[in-house]
Structure 1
């Protein structure tokens, strides 16, 4: 079950790529939609609240939870691809 060094480095390169992608999405939603683009988004509303405020208070949390499930699903696929899964 020990992978060669080349496979190990490729596995970690892909793992870091997944993590980086998730962090970029989360940053864009939380900082971008909640702070930087809030004035533009506040023209729309969800449940009576401005959309920029909603992203700052709720949207980034929902995206974070979705990203947790996405990361778990994607890492399970990556583990199977490199034969390092736990099953």
Structure 2
């Protein structure tokens, strides 16, 4: 295997690891906070709304948008690390 191919394989493995971690965070927030822990989170009210309802309706979307920016930053660093930046 050539050096370039080894770099591409390592790059792809690290990219998949980042994706898995970020999607796990999003799943935990959207499914966990919005469905599994909804009843306990609903004991807390923010702005008149129950926290479990807020996570189910808006919180998971906000977290997803934040994770997009985190992914972009991570990928820019990864591109520089492996020399794929332009």
* TM-score interval, normalised by the smaller of the two chains: over 0.9
Q: TM-score, normalised by structure 2?
A: 0.94
Q: Which has a greater percent of helix? A: 2
CA distance in 1: counterparts of 2:41 and 2:47, whole angstroms: 14
CA distance in 1: counterparts of 2:58 and 2:45, whole angstroms: 13
Aligned-residue CA RMSD (Å): 0.9
Question: Structure 2 stretches of 5 or more lacking a match?
Answer: none
Question: Structure 1 stretches of 5 or more lacking a match?
Answer: none
Render the CA deviation track for 1:43-84: whole Å, top value 9, x for unaligned: 001110100000000100000010000000000000000000
Give the total of aligned pairs.
84
Aligned ranges 1:1-87 → 2 under 5 Å: 4-86=4-86
